[in-house]
Amino acid sequence: MESCLNQYFPIPQSQGCRDTIGTAEIQRRAAAVQPKVVAAIEDVRQTMRNAGYADSDYQLVFQSYFTPITPDLRPGIDNYVSKVANGCPAATEDLAWGHNLVVPLFSDALRHAAEQVPGVRYLDQRRVSYGHEVCAEFTSSPYEYTNGDVIDTSEMARNGCDQKVLFGGLICMDEIRQSYHLRVAGYQGEGACLGDFYASANAESYCTLDQQDGTTIRPLNPGQPWMDQVDDGGWFQLTSKAGGKVWDFSGGGTDGDSTNGRPLITYAATGGLNQSFVTEIKSDGSYEVDFSGNRTMCLDATGGQAAAGVKLEQWGCNGNANQHWFFTPEGGGYYAVSSAQNQNLVATIGGSTDGSGNPVVELQPYSGAADQLWQLTELGIVYLHG
């Protein structure tokens, strides 16, 4: 977070922290921390044994960190002055990278570490703050679960400077220590989930916002992927069963992008805005699928008519049936995504490519092949529906 802040404030730089740090470095760090976490958990277990406690005398629950930030910002905040004033001073594209890729990578590493120590239960808290992150569209400042960027200059008078970290040493670590930590409401949400998890028989669970704006736990199967379901107001990444790449509006990713005609391709996950989509349910049970960086732009069957071989693209939302989609569960957490104009035609990795050689997604008759099956990963909650 310090790096992302430095790239934006006081003067926005040409590159964000997603560029200066990069996904490969985050992957390296997540892999490196995993054995250290395993060792720490084993140390706790051994310390309890040394104190005379049998493993069966208590429950050892390991939980992950919450998600403090979001690119889904409240109206009027997505500008430099308002971001600084409201405590989320970073490029929206960096916020997406942190929210969609960095936090999940580290949470997954912690989960895998917990699974390596017998008898340890795991509670994933990455989603407890969904909808209530700092600057989030769904909430308002008094109801955010997390602090934003907080600079407490009184710490200098109390403790002096422990470590110079920002703006060439003008800001010290102890002055920003409470930045992006949970507030009281966030701790209440975490605590409620922890209590529910303790009372359950689940070896693993995750905590999330429920439709009543409270928190609830849902089970995870050890060693298995999350089994997310399509939902109105959900915000998703879609991953192909054939090769593990994700939906991506080619060449997009810039906050507010309104370019018509960007082809839908599959690409390695980057955490970009152009790889996350908001689903809005329609009266017939189909969904409009919106680009998360500009929800006036929709997933569209090119030319306004669904037919075999028609490519999918980004286009301004117009309410027509060629922009409405049915999500049909096909087992194992995968979905077929079919056109509301012709439900026999589904999103399929095609044979043509964009200008960079990435395969374009097109409509083809359903066959159940891996290149027609998509796993949904929920990245956030944009609004509740009751």
pLDDT score of 342 more than 90: yes
Burial 188-206, CB ≥16 within 10 A → b, else e: ebbebbbebbeeeebebbb
Residues 177-190: tens digit of each pLDDT: 678 889 999 999 99
pLDDT of the residue at 52: 98
For the chain, domains (ranges, CATH) are 2-146+182-220 (no CATH), 234-381 (2.80.10.50)
Burial 24-35, CB ≥16 within 10 A → b, else e: eebeeebeeebe
Residues 183-235: tens digit of each pLDDT: 999 999 999 999 999 999 999 999 998 888 889 999 999 999 999 999 999 99
pLDDT of the residue at 172: 72
pLDDT score of 386 more than 90: no
Residues 291-326: tens digit of each pLDDT: 999 999 999 999 999 999 999 999 999 999 999 999
pLDDT score of 173 more than 70: no
* Short-list 167, 277, 162, CA closest to 231: 277
User: What is the residue-wise DSSP string for 215-240?
Assistant: EEEEEE-TTS-------TTEEEEEEE
Report the chain's mean pLDDT, rounded to a whole number: 93
pTM, to two decimals: 0.93
pLDDT score of 167 more than 70: no
Residues 49-74: tens digit of each pLDDT: 999 999 999 999 999 999 999 999 99
Task: Say which residue the tokens 């790889």 belong to.
Answer: 275
pLDDT of the residue at 30: 97
Give the Cα separation of 89 and 276 in Å (integer): 21
Percentage with pLDDT > 70 across the chain = 94
> In Å, what is the CA distance from 13 to each residue of 4, 35, 67, 318?
10, 35, 24, 36
pLDDT of the residue at 211: 85
